[in-house]
């Protein structure tokens, strides 16, 4: 376990030296900076758990630094220090977000007590965030069949190690759920879980999204790797990653460090990478679309997630789970799936996997009536997905709408279908349907289609 780290920022050498010696004797890892510029570099490189910050310095005052750093949600507690500050300055510092204010000459006893309390307070906040995440997080992957039992057991065992995991399976089969389950059972459970649909990021913005941006004025935009520091970064459909980002990610994974776009400072991160793919990465490597070295870095352990059709004995339990989910989360009316309906759905092919089943349950709870879902109602709700000979399909509801409204209904259904088909990749959707990407983004937004929901 690494030591708790503290950054001391003060322009007086004697104070820096004294604080470093005392705090290191207490078991802390201490970094010291004599001015604002060095403080920015050290904070970026080491991400200290606490900062002791002098107010009056020659190049940049501590209040300005505090205001700038407070934009970063990962900032630990900041304790301000000054030998000639007014009461107004102290009040301003704490109002802005400083944990406390210490007046020079420093009382070492008060300093150590304040540092200890600030760190305890920050730890309590992290635990509360972690507790909320565990309360809000979905339960473990649903299913009592042999396939899901085996998969859950494998994930629990992998969670005890920091090896990178690659989940392979069809769209909608539950790869993200398993990734979250892996994170929730790991030592990183109180850290962030950052998920990103790789195909939803436009190639021209990919490097900034992953690695962040820095400019000469000290302004910093944190990328996904920094946001996931101390936790897990889940790369959904990693095969869709463009080549330049593959090269930079490969370098970052090998050294656990990288430079932001436009910056030269090395940023060090502690992140577990978990990825998923619907494609064979081996075939992508052979075709020259995926870097072989990155494939080996990601493919430490591969877990195949079976399609729902291969564990259809779990369908009744999944139906019950999603009924409870929508009743509790969205306050939809409770409805029961009878034995005949459950039996029919067990033998349905589920080309959209668990995601299709979830959507079906939601549709039946919203549009249906009565305490029990009828068989004919379930078949009608499956609509054109139901490829059973001899079943007449009902004409779409939007046939009775005015042309403008009917067109919107059709466009939304059409785009949602193809967005799901291409696993949320707006770039691939744009190419497939022949609509320029800028117009496509506008169209998706105007129809209220959330890209993230389709990953």
How deeply is 86 buried, as exposed, middle or buried, from its count of CB atoms within 10 A (0-12, 13-18, 19+)? exposed
Neighbours of 35 (CB within 10 A): 16
Q: What is the pLDDT of residue 61?
A: 85
Residue 139 lies in a domain: no
Are residues 220 and 296 located together in one domain of the fold?
yes
Domain harbouring 447, CATH code: 1.10.10.60
Count of domains observed in the chain: 4
Please state, in angstroms and rounded to a whole number, the distance separating the CA atoms of residues 386 and 380: 8
If one compares 91 and 337, the residue with the highest pLDDT of the two is: 337
Residue 45 near residue 266 (C-beta atoms within 8 A): yes
Are residues 69 and 150 located together in one domain of the fold?
no
Are residues 297 and 420 located together in one domain of the fold?
no
- The mean per-residue pLDDT over the stretch 59-80 comes to 84
Find the domain containing 429 and state its range.
Answer: 400-454
Are residues 164 and 237 located together in one domain of the fold?
yes
Are residues 283 and 165 located together in one domain of the fold?
yes
Residue 216 lies in a domain: yes
Domain harbouring 242, CATH code: 3.40.50.300
Least confident stretch, 182-191, 286-295, 350-359, 434-443: 434-443
Q: For 276-300, how does the pLDDT look when each residue is reduced to its tens digit (9 = 90+)? A: 999 999 999 999 999 999 999 998 9
Neighbours of 289 (CB within 10 A): 16
Are residues 334 and 407 located together in one domain of the fold?
no
CA distances from 105 to 84, 89, 218 (A): 10, 17, 31
pTM: 0.58
Q: Which of 199, 187, 185, 194 is nearest to 212 (CA)?
A: 194
β-pair type (372-373, 336-337): parallel
Q: Which of 168, 271, 300, 167 is nearest to 211 (CA)?
A: 271
Greatest CA separation for the chain: 89
Are residues 177 and 270 located together in one domain of the fold?
yes
Domain harbouring 62, CATH code: 3.40.50.2300
Name every residue whose Cβ is closer than 8 Å to that of residue 148 and which is 6 or more positions away in sequence. Answer: 141, 142, 311, 314
Residue 391's pLDDT band, with cuts at 50, 70 and 90, is very low
Residue 24 lies in a domain: yes
**Residue linked to tokens 């990953």:** 455
Residue 379 lies in a domain: yes
Residue 162 lies in a domain: yes
257 backbone φψ class: left, alpha, beta (φ>0; ψ -120 to 50): beta
Residue finishing a domain among 281, 304, 327: 304
Q: What is the pLDDT of residue 56?
A: 85
Please state, in angstroms and rounded to a whole number, the distance separating the CA atoms of residues 238 and 278: 9
Residue 392's pLDDT band, with cuts at 50, 70 and 90, is very low
Residue 202's pLDDT band, with cuts at 50, 70 and 90, is confident
Q: What is the pLDDT of residue 414?
A: 80
Residue finishing a domain among 377, 394, 411: 394
Q: For 226-278, how does the pLDDT look when each residue is reduced to its tens digit (9 = 90+)? A: 999 999 999 999 998 888 889 889 989 888 899 888 888 888 999 999 999 99
Residue 453's pLDDT band, with cuts at 50, 70 and 90, is very low
Residue finishing a domain among 344, 364, 394: 394
Are residues 40 and 127 located together in one domain of the fold?
yes
Are residues 161 and 264 located together in one domain of the fold?
yes
Domain harbouring 341, CATH code: 1.10.8.60
- The mean per-residue pLDDT over the stretch 105-109 comes to 88
Are residues 334 and 233 located together in one domain of the fold?
no
Residue 98 lies in a domain: yes
Residue 394's pLDDT band, with cuts at 50, 70 and 90, is very low
Are residues 160 and 124 located together in one domain of the fold?
no
Residue 32 lies in a domain: yes
Are residues 69 and 115 located together in one domain of the fold?
yes
Neighbours of 320 (CB within 10 A): 15
Residue 138 lies in a domain: no
């Amino acid at each position: 376990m690494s030591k708790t780290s503290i950054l001391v920022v003060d322009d007086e050498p004697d104070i820096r030296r004294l604080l470093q010696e005392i705090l290191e004797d207490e078991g802390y890892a201490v970094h010291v900076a004599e001015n604002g510029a060095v403080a920015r570099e050290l904070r970026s490189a080491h991400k200290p758990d606490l900062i002791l910050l002098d107010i009056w310095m020659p190049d940049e005052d501590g209040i300005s630094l505090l205001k700038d750093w407070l934009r970063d949600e990962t900032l630990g507690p900041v304790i301000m220090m000054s030998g000639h500050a007014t009461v107004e300055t102290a009040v301003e510092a704490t109002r802005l977000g400083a944990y406390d204010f210490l007046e020079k000459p420093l009382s070492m006893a008060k300093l150590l007590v304040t540092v200890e309390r600030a760190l305890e307070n920050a730890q309590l906040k992290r635990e509360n965030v972690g507790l909320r995440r565990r309360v809000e997080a979905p339960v473990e992957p649903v299913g009592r069949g042999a396939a899901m039992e085996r998969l859950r057991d494998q994930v629990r065992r992998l969670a005890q190690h920091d090896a990178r995991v690659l989940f392979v399976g069809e769209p909608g089969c539950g790869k993200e759920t398993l990734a979250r389950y892996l994170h929730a059972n790991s030592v990183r459970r109180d850290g962030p879980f950052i998920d990103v649909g790789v195909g939803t990021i436009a190639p021209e913005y990919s490097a900034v999204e992953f690695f962040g941006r820095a400019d000469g004025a000290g302004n910093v935009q944190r990328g996904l790797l920094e946001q996931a520091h101390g936790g897990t970064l889940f790369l959904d459909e990693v095969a869709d990653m463009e080549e330049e980002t593959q090269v930079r990610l490969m370098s970052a994974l090998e050294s656990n460090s990288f430079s932001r776009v436009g910056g030269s400072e090395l940023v060090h991160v502690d992140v577990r990478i978990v990825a998923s793919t619907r494609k064979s990465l081996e075939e992508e490597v052979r075709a020259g679309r995926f870097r072989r070295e990155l494939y080996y870095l990601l493919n430490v352990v591969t877990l195949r997630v079976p399609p729902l059709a291969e564990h259809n004995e779990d369908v009744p339990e999944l139906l019950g789970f999603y009924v409870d989910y929508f009743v509790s989360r969205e306050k939809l009316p409770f409805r029961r799936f009878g034995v005949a309906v459950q039996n029919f759905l067990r033998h349905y092919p589920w080309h959209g996997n668990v995601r299709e089943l979830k959507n079906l349950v939601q549709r039946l709870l919203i549009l249906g009536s009565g305490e029990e879902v009828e068989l004919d109602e379930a078949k009608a709700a499956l609509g054109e997905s139901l490829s059973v000979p001899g079943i007449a399909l009902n004409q779409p509801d939007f046939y009775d709408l005015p042309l403008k409204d009917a067109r919107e209904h059709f466009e939304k259904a059409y785009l949602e279908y193809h967005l799901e088909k291409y696993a949320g990749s707006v770039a691939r959707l744009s190419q497939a349907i022949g609509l320029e990407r800028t117009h496509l983004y506008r169209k998706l937004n105007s129809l209220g289609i959330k890209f993230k929901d389709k990953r």
